[in-house]
Amino acid sequence: MTLTLALIMPREQALLAAALAPYLAEVAPQARIDPTDRAGQMLNRKDVTAFWILNTPQRIGFAIVLNLPEDRRELSEFCILPQHRRQGWGQEAACLILQEFPGRWRMGLSKSSKEAVAFWGTCLSILPGIRDLREGAPFTEHQTKSYTFDVAGAHDD
């Protein structure tokens, strides 16, 4: 079965908040972020694109993309729900999301999620179309490091 992406609509704020609560406890336990407030912020910003990751018809995760100036993107949040991990869905979902927006990307990795650090270190090195992958300093005090990279578009391959 193949994964798909679906936009998260503002009316789905409660569903996103329910998915965000355990995710935030995992990746930012000291940050004291209210999941309902965060979901509302993400779904009502013009510079954010929020996706459900679907293994139809089931929601197995979500991703939040911040649209930065100069046609750049930040993968702000990415989660495969715990019961769906270690089945290859994360890599497939990452590929779908990154290919949705060819160009320059960045992402920071949480200090609290050693699994995410291991996942992204491997995933970004093997995904098709990833170019100029660089490891850098964290963007916030809650992160351990960051990555910047380019995603080739269909016309670049």
Q: How far is CA 61 from CA 53, 93, 116, 138, 141, in A?
A: 5, 9, 14, 24, 25
Q: Is the pLDDT confidence value at 64 over 90?
A: yes
Q: How confident is the model at residue 157 (pLDDT cuts 50, 70, 90)?
A: very low
3-state secondary structure of 146: strand
10 Å CB burial of residue 23 (0-12, 13-18, 19+) is: buried
Over residues 5-16, the mean pLDDT reads 95
Instruction: Indicate the average pLDDT of the chain.
Output: 89
Question: Residue 155 is which amino acid?
Answer: H
CATH: 3.20.20.370, 1.10.10.10, 3.40.630.30, 2.30.29.30. Which one for 4-151?
A: 3.40.630.30
Q: Is the pLDDT confidence value at 156 over 80?
A: no
CA-only gyration radius of the chain, Å: 15
Domain boundaries of the chain, sorted by first residue: 4-151
Instruction: Name the pTM for this structure.
Output: 0.89
Ranges of beta strands (E only) in the chain are: 4-7, 48-55, 58-68, 72-80, 103-110, 130-136, 143-151
Residues 6+ apart with CB under 8 A from 60: 3, 53, 54, 80, 81, 84, 89
Q: How confident is the model at residue 1 (pLDDT cuts 50, 70, 90)?
A: low
Locate 20 and state its tokens.
Answer: 């965000």
Over residues 73-82, the mean pLDDT reads 92
pLDDT in tens, 99-130: 999 999 999 998 888 888 889 989 999 988 99
Dihedral of alpha carbons 147, 7, 127, 157, sign: negative
